[in-house]
Structure 1
Amino acid sequence: MKLKLNLLFLMLTPLLFTNCTEESVTNDETKQANVKSSKEERIDKTQTPKKEYLQKYYQLDHIKSYYDWNEMTGVDAPPFDYKKDLTSLSYEELRLLRNEIFARNGYLFNDAFLRGYFNQFKWYKPIFDVPEFKVSLDKEEQDFISEVKKEEAKRKANKTVERESLSLYNADLIVNTKQFKAVPTEVLEDFGKQNFSIVNANRSMPFYAYDNNAYQHIPNYVTTDLYLFILHRYFSRFIEKFEENYLSKELKGILKKTFEKLATLSTHKNEVEWAQTYCALALHSFGDQAVKLPESYTEIYQEEVQKIENAGGKPSFIQNETVNFGDLKPRSHYTKSEPLRSYFKSFKWISLNGIDISNNEELKGLITLAFTIKNDPNLYKKYQKYSADIEKLAGKEDNISIRDLIALIDVNSLDEALEESKVAQIQEQLMASSKERIKVAYFTPSAEEDKKRLFFFSSTYSISGEIFSKLINVKRDAPKALDVAAVFGNKTAEKILLEEYKENEKWPAYTSNLQQLQNQFESFSDWDHNYGFKGVESALASFAEQENYPNFMKTDAYNRKELSTALSSWTHIKHDLVLYQERPYAAEAGEGGGPEPPSHYSYVEPNIVFWNTAKELVSWLEILSENKETTFESELQKIKEVGNLLRKVANKQLNGENVSKEEYQKLHFIGAEIEYILLGLLETDHLPTRESSMALIADVYANKSGILNVAVGHADDIYVIVPFKGEYHIARGSTFSFYEFQSDGVLNDEDWRKKVGEKNVPKRPEWIAPLVRNVETLEGNMEYRYPRYVDYD
Structure 2
Amino acid sequence: MLKPNSRCEEFDLKIKTLIVICLLAITLIPGSGCIDSNSEPVKETGLEKVTDKQDSSPDVTVETALEGNFSEKSNTLELETGSSFSRYYSKENLQFEAGVPAYSLPLKASEITNYDDFIQKIPLTNKNRDLLYKNGFVVIESRASGNLFEAEPVRVNEIYSALKSADIPIFITSDSLLHLYHIQFDETLKQVEKDEFYDDLWKLDKALLETSIEDYNRSIEDKASEEVTEAARRNVAYFAVALSLLQPKPEQIEQSQRYLGKATLFDPQNAKQYSVEIPSFVKADVEAEIALIGAQKGGISPIFKYYEDYSQYIPRGHYTTSEKLTNYFKTMMWHGRMSMLLRPNMITSEESMVKESVTEKSAAEESEKESRIQTIQALLISDHFDRDKNLRAEWDRIYDVTAFYVGFSDDLGPYEYAKALDTVFGNDREESSFDNENLTALKTELERYENPKIYGGTGEIIPAGSETENKTLEATKGFRFMGQRYTPDSYILQKLYPPALNIMDLLGSEKAREHLKNMGFSENEEYKERHLSLENEFEAFEGEDWNKNLYWAQLYALKPLLVSYPEGYPTFMQTEAWEDKQLNAALASWTELRHDTILYAKQAYFVGAFYDLEEIPVQGYVEPVPEFYARMLALTKMAHSGLAEMEVLDEQSDKDFTTLESTLEKLLEISIKELENKELTDEEYEFIKSFEKNIAPMLENIDEDTQSSVVVADVHTDQEGRVLEEGTGKLDLIVVAYKQPDGRIVLGAGPVMSYYEFWQPSGERLTDEEWREMLENKPPERPEWVESFKS
Distance 2:663 2:495 in 1: 39
Distance 1:668 1:389, change over 3 A: same
1:715 aligns with 2:666: no
Aligned match of 1:387: 399
Aligned match of 2:112: 174
Q: Which letter does structure 2 place at the counterpart of 1:278?
A: Y
Per-residue deviation at 1:279?
0.7
Structure 2, unaligned stretches of length 5 or more? 1-100, 143-151, 221-228, 249-273, 344-370, 607-613
1:230 aligns with 2:180: yes
CA-to-aligned-CA distance 1:439-496 (integer Å, 9 cap, x gap): 4694857996762332111110101011111113xxxxxx111111111221111111
Distance 1:705 1:296, change over 3 A: closer
Pairs within 5 Å for 1:91-490: 160-161=103-104, 171-179=109-117, 180-181=119-120, 182-201=123-142, 202-265=152-215, 266-269=217-220, 270=229, 271-287=231-247, 290-319=275-304, 322-358=307-343, 359-410=371-422, 411=425, 412-413=428-429, 416=432, 418-439=434-455, 442=461, 444=463, 451=475, 452-472=477-497, 479-490=498-509
SS of equivalent residue, structure 2 residue 311: helix
Pairs within 5 Å for 1:648-663: 648-663=669-684
Distance 1:692 1:509 in 2: 42
Per-residue deviation at 1:374?
1.6
Distance 1:198 1:352 in 2: 41
Per-residue deviation at 1:183?
2.5
Aligned match of 2:785: 767
Pairs within 5 Å for 1:430-579: 430-439=446-455, 442=461, 444=463, 451=475, 452-472=477-497, 479-498=498-517, 500-505=518-523, 507-525=524-542, 526-547=545-566, 548-579=568-599
Give the alignment's Cα RMSD to 1 decimal.
2.5
Percent identity, aligned pairs only, is 22
Per-residue deviation at 1:384?
2.8
Q: Which letter does structure 2 place at the counterpart of 1:232?
A: H
Per-residue deviation at 1:205?
1.6
1:671 aligns with 2:692: yes
CA-to-aligned-CA distance 1:351-389 (integer Å, 9 cap, x gap): 221122131112112211111222112212332333222
Distance 1:219 1:443, change over 3 A: farther
SS of equivalent residue, structure 2 residue 299: coil
Does the CA contact (< 8 Å) of 1:471 and 1:514 recur in 2? yes
Aligned match of 2:20: none
Distance 1:419 1:568, change over 3 A: same
Aligned match of 2:352: none
Give the structure with the larger helix fraction. Answer: 2
Which of 736, 745, 748 aligns to 1:728? It is 745
Distance 1:281 1:440 in 2: 20
Q: Which letter does structure 2 place at the counterpart of 1:423?
A: L
Distance 1:642 1:384 in 2: 34
Distance 1:205 1:385, change over 3 A: closer
Does the CA contact (< 8 Å) of 2:570 and 2:738 recur in 1? no
Distance 2:410 2:102 in 1: 55
Distance 1:409 1:597 in 2: 80
Distance 2:616 2:431 in 1: 82
Aligned match of 1:753: 772
Distance 1:272 1:597 in 2: 82
Q: Which letter does structure 2 place at the counterpart of 1:273?
A: R
Aligned match of 2:86: none
Pairs within 5 Å for 1:5-44: none
Does the CA contact (< 8 Å) of 1:353 and 1:455 recur in 2? yes
Distance 2:706 2:699 in 1: 10
Distance 2:288 2:442 in 1: 31
Per-residue deviation at 1:300?
1.9
Per-residue deviation at 1:311?
3.1
Q: Which letter does structure 1 place at the counterpart of 2:479?
A: L
**Which shifted more, 665-674 or 316-325?**
316-325
Does the CA contact (< 8 Å) of 1:171 and 1:195 recur in 2? no
SS of equivalent residue, structure 1 residue 656: coil
Does the CA contact (< 8 Å) of 1:318 and 1:354 recur in 2? no
Aligned match of 1:778: none
CA-to-aligned-CA distance 1:295-353 (integer Å, 9 cap, x gap): 33222222112122333342423446552111111111111111111110000012221
Does the CA contact (< 8 Å) of 2:618 and 2:746 recur in 1? no
Q: Which letter does structure 1 place at the counterpart of 2:730?
A: H
**Which shifted more, 627-636 or 539-548?**
539-548
Distance 1:404 1:159 in 2: 59
Q: Which letter does structure 2 place at the counterpart of 1:275?
A: N
TM-score (structure 2 length as normaliser): 0.71
Per-residue deviation at 1:603?
0.5
Per-residue deviation at 1:264?
3.5
Q: Which letter does structure 1 place at the counterpart of 2:585?
A: T
1:619 aligns with 2:641: no
Aligned match of 1:131: none
SS of equivalent residue, structure 2 residue 140: strand
SS of equivalent residue, structure 1 residue 267: helix
Does the CA contact (< 8 Å) of 1:538 and 1:610 recur in 2? yes
Of the two, which has the highest radius of gyration?
Answer: 1
